[in-house]
Amino acid sequence: MAQIDKFFLENKPLFSGKIREIFNYTENKLLIKTSDKISAFDFVFEDEIPSKGKLLTKIAKFWFEKTEHIIKNHILDDSALSKLFPQTSESCLLVKKCTPIRIEAIVRGYISGSAYNQYIKNGMVSDIKMQGGLKINDRLKTPIFTPSTKAEVGDKDENINFGQMVQLVGEDKATYIRNKSLELYEYAHEYALSKGLCLIDTKLEFGYDNHGDIILIDEIFTPDCSRYCLAEDINNQNIDFFDKQFFRNYLKEIKWNQTQINIPKEIKSIITSRYEKVYQMLNDE
């Protein structure tokens, strides 16, 4: 188990998600701690993946800083955390307090995953009519926006169309979130390609800051919320993704029965190495 600083032993989180815990830090600031746990099929495994929380935090911080010109985000200067939390600071983000918008803003640049299953079934993804003849992992002419609701912990997100999103948050806000999501994805996709990575799809989250402005929150373009592969592999029939699909495939192979397991060291090592590779490639000069 990862070492824990005294603060996290003495303070209860305001909110506990599958992987992250959110703590009240000051009147206007929150502390987000990303654990080394991994989730799959809406199940959180207690057996931890070494360095996973640290790597996810590093990747998120990289992208938050890289995309500030597109939209403001919730991260704050956390340079003091290393002294306050010597054991866990690399797994922590210091952020503005915001009111989350209960929408998962999903952008897809390729026909992959659940979107491909929808397409095969009826030629559509969400309520968007797609071109004919697409093969799995084909690049779309233009990225598409397919939102879902943001479920409470333990529940499942529900796919919705843009019209339903408008009903939930209003047309102006829905349009703003959609446009910013597409802009963020297109920027990150081109940047990742320049580093030899292909960003196939992603999900983003937004919230209201204390001025009522919509800003980017949670995480951004990490392997936990995005599907990456090597750019050179995108046309291969069997793509080796950098997201959690490897772990899901492992669980299917062992006929996992929805119970806690001890994850083999070699599986942990592969997962860690994939997250590390994404971080290294993005930062490659």
* Residue 243 pLDDT grade (very low, low, confident, very high; cuts 50, 70, 90): confident
Distance (Å, rounded) from C-alpha 106 to C-alpha 238? 23
Nearest to 12 by CA among 31, 27, 35, 29: 31
Q: Considering the chain, what is the average pLDDT of its residues?
A: 93
Distance (Å, rounded) from C-alpha 75 to C-alpha 69? 14
Kindly tell me the burial class for residue 230, based on how many C-beta atoms sit within 10 Å of its own C-beta (0-12, 13-18, 19 or more): middle
Give pLDDT tens digits for 257-271: 999 999 999 999 999
Cα–Cα distances in angstroms (integers) from residue 19 to residues 22, 35, 52, 205, 207, in the given order: 10, 6, 10, 15, 19
Q: Which two tokens stand for residue 130?
A: 């797609």
Where do we find the tokens 């169309």? 161
Task: State pTM to two decimals.
Answer: 0.93
Domain ranges of the chain: 103-248
Cα 22–Cα 241–Cα 180 angle in degrees, nearest 5 = 55
pLDDT at 151 (0 to 100):
64
* C-beta separation of 215 from 250 below 8 A: no
Give pLDDT tens digits for 143-189: 999 999 976 655 667 899 999 999 999 999 999 999 999 999 999 99
CATH topology of domain 103-248: D-amino Acid Aminotransferase; Chain A, domain 1 (3.30.470)
Alpha helices, DSSP H only, in 195-264? 245-253
Distance (Å, rounded) from C-alpha 60 to C-alpha 54? 10
Residue range 215-243: mean pLDDT, rounded: 92
Q: What are residue 52's phi and psi, to 5 degrees?
A: -60, -45
* Residue 46 pLDDT grade (very low, low, confident, very high; cuts 50, 70, 90): very high
Give pLDDT tens digits for 227-237: 999 999 998 87
Tell me the Ramachandran region of residue 85: left when phi exceeds 0, alpha when psi lies from -120 to 50, beta otherwise. Answer: beta
* Residue 5 pLDDT grade (very low, low, confident, very high; cuts 50, 70, 90): confident
Long-range contact list for 5-12, CB < 8 A, 24+ apart?
Answer: 5/84, 5/85, 5/86, 5/87, 5/88, 7/84, 7/85, 8/33, 8/88
pLDDT at 155 (0 to 100):
60
Checking if the pLDDT of 283 tops 60, the result is yes
